[in-house]
Structure formats: C-alpha cells, structure tokens
Structure 1
Amino acid sequence: MGLIDWIMGKMNFQSSTSSFELLNDEGDGQLTLGDTLFKNDVIRACIRPKANAIGKLKVTHVRENNRECKINPDPWIYNVLQEPNPFMSRQLLLEKMVTQLDLNSNAFAFIKRNDFGYPTAIFPIPCTKVEVLENNQGLILLKFTFKTKNVLILPYSDIIHLRKDFNSNDLFGTPPYDPLLPLLEVIDSVDDSIVNNVSNNRFMNWLLNFKEVLDQDDLIKNTNEFVNNYMKYTGDGVKAGFSEPTYTLQQVPASNYAPEPQRTNDAIRRILMFFNTNENIVQSTFNEDQWNAYNEAVINPLVIQLNNEFTRKFFTPAERKNGNRIVFEASNLEFASIATKLAFSIMVERASLTPNEWRSLMGIGPIQRGDVPLLKTDTAPIDQKERDREFELRVEREKKREEEIEKCRQECLEECKQFKEFCMEQQKKLLEKPETDDKNS
C-alpha cells in the first residue's frame, strides 16, 4: 500500500466531482517552480531563520469559557499537536510548511480523522499543482497533483491552508516566481561567468607563431603535438621542452576579469527585502532590537494565521463557541540580552510568570513545583500560603475556643466559690441562732 493510500484510508472523493468556478482565478494552480527557487543559496538562507523560528513555537489546546479554563483538556488533540504523524515531529511539520509557504505562497496540510471525527494525524502536502473541485453534495474539494503524477482529492474543510500575498486568486496566494526569477537570473549569470573564468585560467595558454606558411592540416598537427608533449600531465615528473625553428612560443596572460560585484549585491539586497529580512538575520549577527523588529514584522503575523487556521479546521463552530482554540506561542525574548531576561525576575514575584517559565527564558531546566505562581516577595507558593493561612486560622480558632473555655471555667469556679461562701455564712447563722434563743428564755 502506498503512502497516499495509507493517509487516505477508506476515503475516496475522486468520483462525482466537477470543477468549481472562482470569481477571480488568475493562474492555473501551478506550484512547480518552488524547487527552482530552493536551489538558490540566497533564497534558502532567507527562508531558514523564519522556518527555524516557527519550528520552535509551543502549541497548546485551550478551552476557556464562563465555566472553566483548561489547558490541553483532550489527550487526542494534545497527541496530534505534539506528534502530527509517524514521519515527523511538530517542529519539522511547521518548518516544512513555512518553507513551502515562502517558496510557493501556499502551504497545505491534511487533517486525518477517525470514524468519530477526531483528528488522528496531520500530513503536509508538497504538491506541484492544485485545483478546486466540487462534488454532488456541494462539498468543496482540492485536487493535488504530485511530482510522481499521483492525484489526491481531499475536502477543503480538512485542509490547513497557509497563504501569503493573497491578492489575485480567491483561494490561493500569489506565487513569488515573477519577482524572484529575474533576480536569480542575474545572480546565476554572474556566478557562471566567474566559474567559467576560473576554469579557463587553470592552465597556461600559449600562442604558437609559425615562421612559415603552413596549410590547415599542418597547423593542427603541430599544435596537437605541442599540446600532447608539453601540456598534459602524465605523472612522469618535470618535462623539458626544446625550441623548434619552425615556430616561436608566446604565453597568453591569464584574464582576471570579474563581473561588477554591485550587480550581485543589488540583486541579493532586493531578495532580502522581498523576504522582509536582512543580512544580520540571515548571518545570525543580529542584536535584541533587530530580532524584535523581525519578530514583529514576520513571525507574529504568521503565528496569528496559524492560530486561526488550526482552530478553524480542528473544531466545529459549536466547539469554537464553547471556547476551544489552538494557540501557538512565540517568545521574542529568546534572543534578548541577559540584562533583559534578569529584569523579568520581578514578574515572578508578582505571579505574572511561573519560576519555570522564567527559567526557560534563561535557558535553565525546570524545577519541582516551579509551575506554581509566587506572590510578590513571599517565597512560599500560593497554594502553600493558602494552606498555611488556613492552619493559622484554625490555630486561632482553637486558641480562642480554649480561652473561652478557660474563661467559662474561671467564671464557674468563681460562682462556686461565692456559693460556697454563702453556704458557709448561712450555716454559721443557723448555728448561732439557738444560743440566742436560750438566753432569751
């Protein structure tokens, strides 16, 4: 079974389909020149920083509504986002899609679902041609043609479609071939002229000046004998030549001509501008401010498109209304200076960052209980502080209860003492009364 059959399973949309007419369809959906662009070192150098930055994005499934706020609540979605298919990780999937996006202004990935409609895998689709179709039920489909001439028809509702330069076509981005190919021709022409110049100067060139007039055959014969005897290396060591009276030798000086570098530099600069980058980003010599500018102009817009497209294709409208969404998180502090990263330690004290989040910015591994926020300068975690506060309140209640019991006990003792004294006084009075009565009698 081929890879296409393995991806599709039992699905088959190739029957009962017809072409779907778009309002504006400039272009035939050909994406065949992306490989030509990728062969150029300047194009590849422009794409690589963007692909690497997108590949390092963290992705989570968030469900947030009035009743709950959960991170990665469904294990099947979490597994698909972390391991999209058996052949690549999330990082490689994103890098491949970004590369296809920059080369063709379109990138496609198919969401494979099980019989219950849950996503089980994500496969990128590096096609050479794409067409829009419609079946009898009104379902919009995309017909992909590959280099091997294999054809794959998939529903557009299960296609993650990234695009840029979205202008002339109603569904697809405008490929970058027209502005880039003339620039590449300039660079390739300069490179070819340099290669040819170097190849021609590998050997010394000689001019044979014959002293007598010879016919064409004799000229060729004498020239070939000179080349075979003295211009070819045979491994025999140093060769010695001798002077022929029929001709004299004249060495032709080597040509050091090189094309004007300004033409190449102008073409490279225009290619860098086309990809919204510069030499510092390409050569990894940027500083913090330069990376932040590149991140805001290039990375963040693509992150927003990834969030919207994955959320739209992963969940139904009812699920999205319930607060389900896919979030790609990009940290533009990765290339910040140490002073900037250390300044964020105050956010840990204010519970805006967890200790592990701050440690990840510093390039340090996580610690136990590092995912629990801290509150201000108190080093105790919030949940531990709540438990300590409950314990203190319980101790205070017990202490107050004991004080009330002790107070009640003291009051009882005091009342008992007073009652005892009263009884003793009454008894004493009773004992003294008979003696008084006897005297009176």
Structure 2
Amino acid sequence: MLNGYLPIFSQFGEDIFASDVVQACIDVIATEISKLRPKHIRTDNNDVQTIVNSSINRLFKFSPNELMTTRDFLEKTIWLLFLNLNVFIYPTYDIVKDSSGRKRKEYTGFYPLNPYQVEFMQDNSGKLFVKFFFRNGSNYTLAYSDVIHLRKKFSVNDVMGGGINGQPDNDALLKVLQINDNLLQGLEKTIKSSMTVRGILKMNTMMKEEGLDEERKKFEEKMKNNESGILPMDMKGEYHDIKIDPKLVDKDTLDFLDSKILKNYGVSLPIISGEFTDDQYQAFYERTLESIVIGLGQSFSKCLFTNRELDFGNEIVFYQKDMMYLSMKNKLEIIKIGGEQGIFTDNEKLKILGYSPIEGGERRTQSLNYINRDIIDEYQVKRGKME
C-alpha cells in the first residue's frame, strides 16, 4: 500500500490465553473464588457445626504458604485450573503425637504446583503415584493420596481433566477465537486505511525539488482555505483522488462471537462489566462458581483427612463470606428473615450493611412470632385455658 503498510493478518496461534476475552472471563471467576473463606469444621451427630482449632485453619486465615495470602492462593489455583484443566496442590506437614500417643499430621503449608508434565503410576499393591516434571529439570514422585487434585472437563481420561491425553482440548474454542481475532485485525486495518494517503497531486511539468516543495505548500494552503468543496487548480497540477471504501464488521457479528466465548466460560457480559443485578450474579454463581466451590471443599477434605476423621464429621468448607453484591433491598430482606429466626448476631447484621462491629454486638435476638412445632399442641392448649 502507499504508506508501506501490508494488509497481512497474523496467526492467532494455539494459546487461547492470548485472547483478552478469555483472560477477562477467567479473571472474573478467579477474582470471585478468591473471596471465599476456607474453614476446617466438624459436624457432630446433632448436625451442629463447629470451627476446629487446627493448623489448617491457622494457614487458611491469612497465609497458606510463605509466598501467598489466602486470596493469592485461591486466585492462582483457579488460573492454573483453567490453564491446564487440572491443578495439583501439595500440602506440607509434620508428623506429631497427641496426648494419647497417636500420630497425626500437623499441616505447615499448601502449595499450588505448576509442572509441565505429570505421569501416573501404580505399584504392585495398586497404590497410585504421580510423578511431576518441572521446568527447572527436577522431578518428584509422590503418593497420589498426598496431593490435592482439582479437575475440569473430567471425561475421557481416567485420572486427568481435559482431553484423552489429559491436556486441554481447545480446538472448538480456537476456531471462534481465530475468527474473532481476524475481525479485530480487519477493524484495526480499516481504521488505519481511513487515515492514509487520500489522493495524488500530479505535476505536469519537470520541476526541481525546490519547485515541487513550493507547489506542495501552495496546494496544502488551498485545501486549508477552501470552504466550497471545489479546489481550483492551474494547468501545472492535476489531482487524482484515491477512493477508500473500508468495510466495517457490524456490531451484531462482533457481539455474537464475544457471546460464544463468554458462554464457554459461563460468564455473561454484565458480570464482566460489573453492572450485574442480584439475579444475574445468582445465575453466574449457580452456573459457574458453585461447582468449583463444591469441588474445592471435596478435594481438600478427601486429601487432608483420613476415613476415620471424615467419619467424625471433619471437612473443609469454602464459605461465601461477603454478600456485598446484593442490593440494599435484598440485604435488608436477608437481615429481616435471618434476624427473625435468630440466625444473625447484631454485629453480623451490621457487617452485611457494611458497618463496623459494636460493643455487645454478639447478642443474638429472635422473633417471638415463631414456636417449636414439637410443642404447638401443648402451647395452644395452655393458651386456651388462659383465655
């Protein structure tokens, strides 16, 4: 072209993370998951849950390892999960004895691993092992039961998420991303073409460089001062217009391609932009986040506790601590219902509204309009006698 610009489209490549839309989808999912509060709890036979004073809760409170806060840890875990459709977390621990002389694990850290290759093996007894290969050249073989393993799209491979070889199968998504990238490149080239050379001024005489420069300046001055749209020329100059007719891709086509990418990750445009309603966020949570939250709890519990500990009600639960996405109307409705049932303390009600706690705010009140259904008949008989 006249400006030296070549209208050649670069290849998108095989990395889906080169797409800004894909990155935006994963980022919003990872950001929401990073708000969770993991807790080691124990549920007794009466379904009463208590938070356990354990090394696990100590680590989960602020820093699962020396490099990360809890938020960082959860965010990195989700990014690795979507990058590889598998993520491995190694819990470090010491073996200690309790007062009864029984051995137990005292956990000292949780580390999300980023190997470039993993291999699964079994010994003669059928016990499963996993071998990790890292980019620094090192490799380690660990018992699979000692590693927390989360998977997405767990289908045709027996142990790994993704495709038959345990790798992400992005062929279908790549086709959409490549089309989207081509259209964006075309849009960029259209904008550039509209700002390139618009015409050629042909001089019908042989002139020196100084003369050409003088003629050019005269021509530019005429274009600046012209208001009628008609440019007068003398016999020496001849102007040839270059017809530029760039074609723009319509908005509906671009929106359609973006929506296909968003649907692949279960994320809607209002969630990406942050302009969502309560119902839209609830749909996002149920469609995309809830299965991840459940998977986190089950994977951690399966690895960290023995069968006996699980039988005694030990488990890891990832709680949704904040409800700040709710509208004020819905927050007040939750406080009203929860308050009448005696679910929330006064400080918990203040926290939902975004206020700081107050002294004595651990008080828990309940409406007198509710009664234990087991004593309804007795209550009604007594009340009837009183009347």
Is the pair's TM-score, using the shorter chain for normalization, greater than 0.5?
Answer: yes
> 1:166, CA displacement in angstroms?
1.2
Report the CA distance shift for 1:128/1:198 in structure 2 as closer, same or farther (over 3 A): farther
**2:131 — aligned with what?**
143
Of residues 276, 285, 289, the one that matches 1:295 is: 285
**1:166 — aligned with what?**
154
**1:370 — aligned with what?**
361
Decide which moves more: 36-45 or 194-203: 194-203
Contact 1:101–1:162 (CA under 8 A) maintained in structure 2:
yes
Of residues 65, 72, 79, the one that matches 2:58 is: 79
Of residues 308, 319, 340, the one that matches 2:309 is: 319
Of residues 7, 28, 36, the one that matches 2:15 is: 36
Give the secondary-structure state (helix, strand or coil) at the position aligned to 1:114.
strand
> 1:57, CA displacement in angstroms?
1.1
> 1:239, CA displacement in angstroms?
4.5
Of residues 10, 25, 37, the one that matches 1:46 is: 25
1:220-273 per-residue CA deviation (whole Å, 9 max, x = no partner) reads xx9xx89x969xxxxxxx955799999844232444322344432222111111
- Give matches, 1:22-421, under 5 Å: 36-66=15-45, 71-82=50-61, 83-116=63-96, 117-134=105-122, 139-148=127-136, 150-174=138-162, 175-207=168-200, 239=217, 248-330=238-320, 333-346=323-336, 347-376=338-367
Contact 2:132–2:140 (CA under 8 A) maintained in structure 1:
yes
Give the secondary-structure state (helix, strand or coil) at the position aligned to 2:142.
strand
- CA separation in 2, counterparts of 1:274 and 1:370? 45
Contact 1:38–1:44 (CA under 8 A) maintained in structure 2:
yes
- Aligned residue type for 2:247: Y
Bigger Rg, structure 1 or 2: 1
Contact 2:14–2:174 (CA under 8 A) maintained in structure 1:
no
TM-score by length of 2: 0.73
> 1:211, CA displacement in angstroms?
6.9
> 1:332, CA displacement in angstroms?
7.9
1:285-308 per-residue CA deviation (whole Å, 9 max, x = no partner) reads 111111112222222221111111
Q: Structure with the greater relative contact order (CA < 8 A, sep ≥ 6): 1 or 2?
A: 2
- CA separation in 2, counterparts of 1:299 and 1:172? 20
Give the secondary-structure state (helix, strand or coil) at the position aligned to 1:204.
coil
Report the CA distance shift for 1:150/1:48 in structure 2 as closer, same or farther (over 3 A): same
- Considering only aligned residues, what root-mean-square deviation do their CA atoms show, in Å? 3.5
Contact 1:303–1:328 (CA under 8 A) maintained in structure 2:
yes
Give the secondary-structure state (helix, strand or coil) at the position aligned to 2:15.
helix
Which structure carries more helix by proportion?
Answer: 1
- CA separation in 1, counterparts of 2:300 and 2:169? 24
**2:374 — aligned with what?**
none
> 1:95, CA displacement in angstroms?
1.4
Give the secondary-structure state (helix, strand or coil) at the position aligned to 1:374.
coil
> 1:282, CA displacement in angstroms?
1.3
> 1:64, CA displacement in angstroms?
2.5
Give the secondary-structure state (helix, strand or coil) at the position aligned to 1:113.
strand
Contact 1:341–1:362 (CA under 8 A) maintained in structure 2:
yes
Contact 2:40–2:54 (CA under 8 A) maintained in structure 1:
no
- CA separation in 2, counterparts of 1:263 and 1:350? 51
Contact 2:39–2:51 (CA under 8 A) maintained in structure 1:
yes
Return 5+ residue gaps in structure 2 as ranges: 1-11, 97-104, 163-167, 221-232, 370-387
Report the CA distance shift for 1:258/1:128 in structure 2 as closer, same or farther (over 3 A): farther
- CA separation in 1, counterparts of 2:118 and 2:362? 46
Give the secondary-structure state (helix, strand or coil) at the position aligned to 1:173.
coil
- CA separation in 1, counterparts of 2:295 and 2:34? 15
Give the secondary-structure state (helix, strand or coil) at the position aligned to 1:130.
strand
- CA separation in 1, counterparts of 2:217 and 2:115? 59
Contact 2:341–2:367 (CA under 8 A) maintained in structure 1:
yes
The aligned length equals 328
Return 5+ residue gaps in structure 1 as ranges: 1-32, 213-221, 231-237, 379-441
> 1:338, CA displacement in angstroms?
1.5
- Aligned residue type for 1:269: S
Give the secondary-structure state (helix, strand or coil) at the position aligned to 2:331.
helix
> 1:84, CA displacement in angstroms?
0.5
- Aligned residue type for 2:196: F
Contact 1:344–1:358 (CA under 8 A) maintained in structure 2:
no
- CA separation in 2, counterparts of 1:356 and 1:34? 53
How many percent of aligned residue pairs carry the same amino acid?
27
